[in-house]
Amino acid sequence: MNRNNPTPWEWKLWQFLKNKQINGYKFRRQVSINDFVVDFCCLELKFVIELDGSGHLQPVQMKKDIQRNNDLEEWGFMIMRFPNNDIDENLNAVINIITQKCNELHNEILK
């Protein structure tokens, strides 16, 4: 679902992703990719970041998330999912993981 107003967790992470703060990579919020709207995406790296609330632990939603990931990967995107509580409890670690993945994806592009 496309939302104009981010969740508190999206807003918190967005403060670190916006304005090319991660190694100069441009991330966008609420990006449409075919039939999906992803939380964050760096189109240059084809890198998607999704934040998951407790609803994503439900079996029906988990199945949808797996299919969504498979479709996005088929279209060439790398997907990382973080539970909302990681944003609250481990934000620095999340930022470090995202930064490391950006570096890896950049290096893959250069090969």
Architecture of domain 15-106: 3-Layer(aba) Sandwich (3.40)
The reported pTM is 0.90
CA angle, residues 34, 104, 44, in degrees to nearest 5 = 35
Cβ-in-10-Å burial (0-12, 13-18, 19+) of 22 comes to buried
pLDDT for the residue 54: 66
In sequence order, what are the beta bridge partners of 47? 42, 78
pLDDT the model gives residue 96: 97
pLDDT at 111 exceeding the cut of 90: no
- Tokens standing for residue 41: 């995406």
What is the tens place of the pLDDT at every residue in 29-80? 999 999 899 999 999 999 999 998 766 667 787 788 899 999 999 999 999 9
- Domain segments of the chain as ranges: 15-106
30 sits in which H/E element: strand 28-33
